[in-house]
């Protein structure tokens, strides 16, 4: 039986965490887990955590650590037999320590993307709320303007991609990410990638993962 593989992707809003995680999931058969998706599921289902989280997300703020750890760690606990790539968690040192005490990570990928690039990207991002499918009107546009490719339903811009929430999110990221990055550096599992384009970064990430996990077991639940 091949060894399981666990990776975390860190990066500021719009850095391409979701896009790269999806490519990793498809190329290597890992399950893509996203803290943002967990939150959006809870918001859509009107759970207690979702109602609370919405008030923070709308303001461009991080959701409190105790809410996030209670939301994410049990989901990881259900994945003990699967390899995964976790996108968006941990964001803070408290979350990173909680994650360390619940599982062993093989790799942390940190995306270091210039601020102007991030602003430009997020102002063009639209999503299909029901599925979480993400489009970028320049990089990855839908076939028909403003409409989801699969369902034909309208696309919307998320509240936290609006300019006022965006600037706050970008500013917060730097402050809280630094101790997390330092921790993973000290553990010897941090790999940082810098560029303005996901397509430029992707071949390096792909070859790094190929070298670490030549034989990851495909995840039968990963259908895409
Ligand atoms: P999320 O959902 O984790 P963010 O804000 O961290 O959201 P986001 O915005 O989803 O991250 P991303 O995943 O890093 O960005 O990037 P992406 O979605 O792949 O790409 C962004 C856009 O750029 C897309 O439209 C994509 O098509 C395009 N793109 C990608 N690559 C390129 C390229 O090379 N060129 C171009 N032109 N475009 C490209 O979290 C949402 C909120 O939930 C809370 C926070 O409030 C957060 O703000 N939250 C947490 N709070 C506390 N702790 C946690 N652990 C939390 N996790 C989530």
* ipTM of the complex, rounded to two decimals: 0.95
Band of pLDDT at residue 185, cut at 50, 70 and 90 = very high
**Band of pLDDT at residue 220, cut at 50, 70 and 90:** very low
The residue contributing the CA closest to ligand 1 atom 1 is 36
- Ligand 1: does its nearest atom lie under 6 Å from the Cβ of 138? yes
Residue 180 domain flag: yes
More confident residue, 120 or 210: 210
**CATH code of the domain in which 115 resides:** 3.40.50.300
Q: How many domains does the chain have?
A: 1
> CB of 142 closer than 6 A to ligand 1?
no
Mean pLDDT on 147-162: 87
More confident residue, 158 or 204: 204
- Which of 21, 36, 99 has most ligand 1 atoms within 8 Å of its beta carbon, as the pocket-test mutant? 36
Query: Closest residue (by CA) to atom 35 of ligand 1?
Result: 197
| pLDDT tens per residue, range 21-74 | 999 999 999 999 999 999 989 988 999 999 999 888 877 788 999 999 999 999
Residue 196: C-alpha distances to residues 15, 140, 156 (Å)? 9, 15, 25
Whether residue 217 is contained in a domain is answered as: no
161: helix, strand or coil: helix
Measured in angstroms, how far is the CA atom of residue 138 from the centroid of ligand 1? 16
Tell me if 62 is assigned to some domain: yes
Residue 8: C-alpha distances to residues 21, 24, 34, 130 (Å): 9, 11, 10, 25
Quote the percentage of the chain above a pLDDT of 90: 64
Check residue 214 and give its pLDDT: 57
Q: What pLDDT does 125 receive?
A: 86
If one residue of 88, 117, 161 were mutated to test the ligand 1 pocket, choosing by the most ligand atoms within 8 A of its CB, it would be: 88
Mean pLDDT of the chain: 88
Report if residue 221 sits inside a domain.
Answer: no
Q: Whose C-alpha lies nearest to ligand 1, atom 2? A: 36
10 Å CB burial of residue 19 (0-12, 13-18, 19+) is buried
Residue 219 is assigned to a structural domain of this protein? no
| Residue keyed to tokens 């790799």 | 107
Treating both helix axes as pointing N-terminal to C-terminal, what angle do 65-77 and 48-57 enclose, rounded to 10 degrees? 130
Domain-embedded: residue 175: yes
Mean pLDDT of the 161-165 span: 72
Domain span at residue 28 reads 6-212
Residue 180 has pLDDT above 60, yes or no: yes
Give me 93's structure tokens: 């040192």
pLDDT band at 194 (very low <50, low <70, confident <90, very high): very high
pLDDT at 1: 41
15 Cβ inside 6 Å of ligand 1: yes
Report if residue 26 sits inside a domain.
Answer: yes
Nearest CA to ligand 1 atom 26: 136
- For residue 215, name the pLDDT band (cuts at 50, 70, 90): low
20 three-class SS: helix
pLDDT of residue 133: 80
The percent helix, strand, coil of the chain (3-state, each to 5) is 45, 15, 35
Ligand 1 pocket residue status of 19, Cβ below 6 Å: yes
Top pLDDT among 56 and 152 is at 152
3-state secondary structure of 142: coil
Find where tokens 């430009």 sit: 120
Q: Does residue 218 form part of some domain? A: no
Gap from CA of 21 to ligand 1 centroid (Å): 11
Helix extents (H) in the chain: 17-28, 35-44, 48-57, 65-77, 93-102, 115-123, 163-186, 198-212
Asked whether the predicted pLDDT for residue 217 surpasses 70, the reply is no
Which protein residue's CA is at the shortest distance from atom 29 of ligand 1? Answer: 16
Which tens digits make up the pLDDT trace of 121-136? 888 888 887 777 889 8
Residue 190 dihedral angles phi and psi, to the nearest 5°: -90, 135
pLDDT value at position 172?
Answer: 82
| 35 Cβ below 6 A of ligand 1 | yes
Contact call for residues 170 and 118 (beta carbons, < 8 A): yes
**8 Å CB contact between 69 and 98:** yes
């Amino acid at each position: 039986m091949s060894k399981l593989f666990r990776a975390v992707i860190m990066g500021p809003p719009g850095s391409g965490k979701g896009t790269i995680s999806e490519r990793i999931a498809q190329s290597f058969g890992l399950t893509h887990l996203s803290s943002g998706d967990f939150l959006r599921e809870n918001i859509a289902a009107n759970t207690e955590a979702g109602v609370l989280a919405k008030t923070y997300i709308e303001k461009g703020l991080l959701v409190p650590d105790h809410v996030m750890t209670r939301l994410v760690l049990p989901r990881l606990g259900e994945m003990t037999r699967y390899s995964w790539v976790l996108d968006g968690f941990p964001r803070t040192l408290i979350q990173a320590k909680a994650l360390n005490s619940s599982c062993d990570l093989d790799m942390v990928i940190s995306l270091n993307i210039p601020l102007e690039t991030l602003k430009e990207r997020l102002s063009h991002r639209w999503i299909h709320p029901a599925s979480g499918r993400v489009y970028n009107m320049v990089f990855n546009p839908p076939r028909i303007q403003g409409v989801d490719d699969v369902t034909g339903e309208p696309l919307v811009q998320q509240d936290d991609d609006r300019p006022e929430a965006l600037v706050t999110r970008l500013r917060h990221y730097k402050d809280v990410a630094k101790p997390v990055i330092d921790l993973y550096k000290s553990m010897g599992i941090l790999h940082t990638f810098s560029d303005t384009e996901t397509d430029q970064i992707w071949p390096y990430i792909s070859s790094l993962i190929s070298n670490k996990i030549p034989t990851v077991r495909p995840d039968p639940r990963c259908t895409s």
